[in-house]
Amino acid sequence: MAKKFLYIVAVIIVLVIAGLIILRVWANELTAIAFVPTEEFVEQEALAENAYAEPDMWFVRPGKGEELIRWQPEYSNDRGLLPTPAEPSTPDFAVFFVHPTSYLSRSSWNAELGDEEAERVARVYLRGMASPLGKASEIWAPRYRQATIGAFMTDKPEAQMAFDTAYRDVAQAFAHFVDAIDPDLPIVLAGHSQGSLHMMSLLNEQVADTELAERIVAAYVIGWPISETHDLPLMGLPACTAPDQAGCILSWASYAEPADPSQVKAYYSLSIGLNGEPRGNSPVLCTNPLTGTRGGTAPASANLGTLVPETDLTDGTLLSGAIPASCDPRGILLIGDPPDLGRYVLPGNDYHVYDIPLFWANMQADVARRMSTWTENR
């Protein structure tokens, strides 16, 4: 009987080890099976020309949804001698914010407008990610037929078709935004993840080499790698190299240590840049959000406040002096060994979901500084 029991235990151990090996070796393949749609791509009908004139096409716009982003989290600790960020009155400016991927289904390549779960998650993201920009006089955040998460896990042509569909909606929303706001109002562009992917194309196609570029205070293109060789020169604005510089681009992707960005780097190396060439091993732009400059290192004491979320991500408190930031030669932002922020850390110690909350108060102060510079330069 004892031998039979030991045999069963041995079999279970072997199965567990085999399972772990399978998960480790074929993790990407298993993830793709779970999320990549098997359905054919269905071409979406073009939106009506004036679709974004309808308030229902926006999560946030003047008079709608502003409760999502106009909130100031309280501090959970003694802030000591840290300055209160963005206390001075900020001149009027408008924000155009594109939310990250919130559609996780493999039943279609693009989310339908009105998908309840995708839009619920999008609102949660907006509350945590767009709120540092809440001092703006106007904030606009469109609904759009985003590509599903599985589109990022395959090289099938349907994936690019899904991204193109999503971008067309974003571009149409941006055109309405520009027409709707005061023609002299300065603009802050911001996005995260898929939102930043579309923001790169928007800068390339709608901002670069236009008069509109003069109105851009800053572009926060966060959570998506920007090639300094194949993307940045075509985006119409330079990288931010000083904390009080206006008319520039900021970008970072956060990893705790030890960091393993190999999955993202593999995708990046095969992807096509804005200049039509593979990005390969070209350098990735890394802005240090604690200094507001390209590259460099800053201690945790420079962090004015990390937004530590509640379990459901719908609320949170600020914790100052908790997380440092250092741009790594690989183009990623290292954040040391951060406190527990929740269960949404991705493989490789990737803090993708927390890219903005990690530096919530610094981003709030950053946009105020750059807005002041833009105003002084007029």
pLDDT tens string 106-158: 899 999 999 999 999 999 999 999 999 999 999 999 999 999 999 999 989 99
> Would 5 be classed as within a structural domain?
no
Q: Of 297, 302, 296, 340, give the one whose Cα is nearest residue 321.
A: 302
Tell me the chain's radius of gyration from C-alpha atoms. 21
> Would 30 be classed as within a structural domain?
no
Which amino acid is present at 76? S
> Would 8 be classed as within a structural domain?
no
Quick check: pTM over 0.85?
A: yes
pLDDT at residue 82, as a whole number: 52
pLDDT at residue 6, as a whole number: 35
Residue 64: strand pairing partners: 61
Strands (E), 223-259: 248-250, 254-255
> Would 366 be classed as within a structural domain?
yes
**Cβ atoms 76, 318 nearer than 8 A:** yes
What does the chain come to in residues?
378
Per-residue pLDDT, averaged over 187-197, amounts to 99
Q: Of 119, 145, 103, 146, give the one whose Cα is nearest residue 65.
A: 119
Q: How far is CA 149 from the centre of its chain?
A: 14
> Would 3 be classed as within a structural domain?
no
pLDDT at residue 32, as a whole number: 56
> Would 373 be classed as within a structural domain?
yes
**Cβ atoms 169, 86 nearer than 8 A:** no
Strand order through the sheet with 187-192: 58-60, 138-142, 94-98, 187-192, 216-222, 248-250
Percent of the chain with pLDDT over 90: 81
Q: Of 263, 254, 216, give the one whose Cα is nearest residue 235.
A: 216
Q: Residue 231: which residues within 8 A CB-CB, separation 6 or more?
A: 200, 273, 274, 275, 279
Which amino acid is present at 78? D
pLDDT at residue 35, as a whole number: 77
pLDDT at residue 17, as a whole number: 40
Rounded Cα distance, 336 and 324, in Å: 7
3-state secondary structure string across 301-367: HHCCCEEEECCCCCCEEEECCCCCEEECCCCCEECCCCCCCCCCCECCCECHHHCCHHHHHHHHHHH
Residue 298: strand pairing partners: 325
> Would 332 be classed as within a structural domain?
yes
- Domain range for residue 316? 36-377
Lowest mean per-residue pLDDT among 19-23, 158-162, 353-357: 19-23
pLDDT at residue 89, as a whole number: 65
- The residue ranking higher by pLDDT, 236 or 82, is 236
> Would 6 be classed as within a structural domain?
no
pLDDT tens digits for 315-336? 899 999 999 999 999 999 999 9
What is the total count of domains within the chain? Answer: 1
The helix/strand count (H/E) of the chain reads as: 7, 14
User: Hey, is 169 helix, strand or coil?
Assistant: helix
- The residue ranking higher by pLDDT, 12 or 212, is 212
**Cβ atoms 158, 100 nearer than 8 A:** no
pLDDT at residue 18, as a whole number: 36
pLDDT at residue 313, as a whole number: 72
Rounded Cα distance, 203 and 291, in Å: 24
Please determine, for residue 238, whether its predicted confidence score (pLDDT) is greater than 90: yes
pLDDT at residue 12, as a whole number: 36
pLDDT tens digits for 29-76? 435 556 799 878 888 899 999 999 999 999 999 999 999 999 999 998
Per-residue pLDDT, averaged over 94-112, amounts to 97
> What is the CA angle 261-297-359, rounded to 5?
75
Rounded Cα distance, 101 and 199, in Å: 13
pLDDT at residue 83, as a whole number: 52
pLDDT tens digits for 258-307? 999 999 999 999 999 999 999 999 999 999 999 999 999 999 999 999 99
Rounded Cα distance, 232 and 203, in Å: 10
Residue 88: strand pairing partners: none
Tokens representing 205?
């196609």
**Cβ atoms 37, 148 nearer than 8 A:** yes
pLDDT at residue 79, as a whole number: 61
